[in-house]
Chains A and B, each alone.
Chain A
């Protein structure tokens, strides 16, 4: 399908299963096997409420994991098995597998682990060897632990308060791994300051890296410019950017835009 057909086609399919991941995140499995790649996103439409970009957590069955943080996301979280869900996609630039080497590291902060689990799973299916770190503020924020451990050769947990895994940020585990394990590529998704720290560390050690950025999106297809980060379009040219490109963006890790386009701190 080309991108025009993707925008034109609104899928409506039944919810197959709802899984409560933690106190605020639910995974919605949809009765649809979609040709989507890790890193891509859907525009999920709740008629009468609005539309939100949601990163894809699995393709077969199509799965999104939604944090109950706003008007539209709380309505998505309220969906029950058998309810219809409408969406368009997949949109955006996916993660790339490494050019060299077979080992990858995924680093997810909070629910940033969602697309990275999909990536690690796809990597394993393609003969790559995945390692994982998932971090959260507390043990309650850690999600996708079982799934991640199932597809990774080794995986680690970190929490800011030390209630699970190593105490500290994901960097507490990341530095040693990035420096010594010879990864073909490191992938990060989560709070932007975390992604920036990962990108800088990868740069320091000469390891390729990709980050998945989040910006306020209106159209989702590269027309309106609401999701611009230093002139680049997060919806069309991202959300996945190379660490190298991201580090050149002065707004990376510092500024984003609210719905009105006003620059605010990330």
Chain B
């Protein structure tokens, strides 16, 4: 009997596949649909204190081996955002993704989450790793161990929900950042985010294509980097890891879990394989496990370290 069941902060998830924040997640019904399609957990659009329209378009452009995007955190703000997502009752886990300019903003966001009744969320995810939004993530230096520790403590001081820290695969010293999160009281690491920033120039118009000029690279191109980061963090940090970056097939997910990920974030695969990709990944993982005589994910997670 093969099972893809996995524990996630008190919930039994049917699969380790998680909808990565920023993808198909502006509305509660979109999240419910992703759950129906095979996700074990889903993350909301990253919510900021105030509403944000995001960057001017083009917001996304394909490259030879992945997507470049610069959305710029469009979201209705924490209060309207939580109203949209609250009342979550499904078996799949809801993760509230948040972005702030500094530890104070993160603390306020966490306080608002804590003060919202009937939310039904299983965890909060603080994104410290966006490569293309001024004032946030990489562009605000949030990936350093000092900053990670400060933000982690600020959030943990305001909410009882488990905290996931989402890091960038582009930070030299991502292991140190993950360690800082662990020591400051985080409950899990999400490794990682889109990589970069990168740029594509239209040679006819002689201009960068993205409205913001630069954007984060995602998709197959970044998978080897994400796998390496997860592998290194798994060796040094005891926190469970969500592995995110370029997973496009069931065997990609298996590879990420062998590197050390307990769960696998999926985003750009939606572009390559459509909005029902999550179920396809689940079936591919199952088929691979069957073929190779695995019965549970426990036998796979961290397998590359044995």
Contact call B80/A262, Cβ cutoff below 8 A: yes
Give the size category of B's interface with A.
35 or more
Q: A222-B274, A261-B74 are in contact. Are A52 and B57 (CB under 8 A)?
A: yes
Q: Is the CB of A47 within 8 A of B59?
A: no
Complex interface: chain A residues within 8 A of B53 (CB): 258-260
A30: Cβ under 8 A from any B Cβ: no
Contact partner, B75, options A86, A230, A260, Cβ 8 Å: A260
- Is residue A50 contacting chain B, with contact meaning CB distance below 8 A? yes
B76, CB-defined interface residue at 8 Å:
yes
**Distance A260 CA – B80 CA, assembled complex (angstroms):** 10
Inter-subunit contact A43/B58 (CB<8 Å): yes
Known interface pairs A218-B74, A261-B74; A12-B205 also in contact (CB < 8 Å): yes
- Find residues 199-228 in chain B having any chain A CB closer than 8 Å to their own CB: 202, 204-205, 207, 209, 211
Task: Report chain A residues within 8 Å CB of B270.
Answer: 222-223
Contact A49 B75 (CB under 8 A): no
A228-B29, A228-B30, A231-B33 known; A260+B52 contact, CB < 8 A:
yes
B268 proximal to A (CB < 8 A): yes
A218 touches B57 (CB 8 A): yes
- The answer to the question of B275 belonging to the interface, with a C-beta cut-off of 8 Å to chain A, is yes
Interface residues on A, range: 35 or more
- Would B56 and A223 count as touching, CB distance under 8 A? no
Question: B207 near A48 (CB under 8 angstroms)?
Answer: yes
Q: Is A226 an interface residue (CB 8 A)?
A: yes
B83: min CB distance to chain A, Å: 9
Contact at A230–B60, with CB atoms within 8 Å?
A: no
Closest Cβ–Cβ distance, residue B58 to chain A (whole Å): 5
With a 10 A CB-CB cut-off, give which of A8, A12, A218, A233 has the most chain B CB atoms. A218
Q: Is the CB of A8 within 8 A of B26?
A: no
CB atoms of A226 and B26 under 8 A apart: yes
- Contacts A219-B59, A223-B268; A231 near B30 (Cβ below 8 A): yes
Q: Given A47-B207, A218-B59, A231-B32, does the pair A261, B76 have CB atoms closer than 8 Å?
A: yes
**Contact between chains at A260 and B77 (CB < 8 Å):** yes
Supply 8 further A-B pairs (C-beta < 8 A) apart from A222-B274, A260-B52, A261-B45.
A7-B62, A84-B204, A218-B74, A223-B270, A224-B69, A236-B274, A259-B54, A261-B26
**Can you report 22 residue pairs joining A to B where beta carbons are below 8 Å apart?**
A7-B60, A7-B62, A8-B63, A10-B205, A45-B209, A84-B205, A218-B54, A218-B59, A218-B71, A218-B74, A219-B59, A219-B71, A221-B60, A224-B24, A224-B60, A225-B45, A228-B24, A228-B30, A230-B27, A260-B52, A261-B81, A262-B80
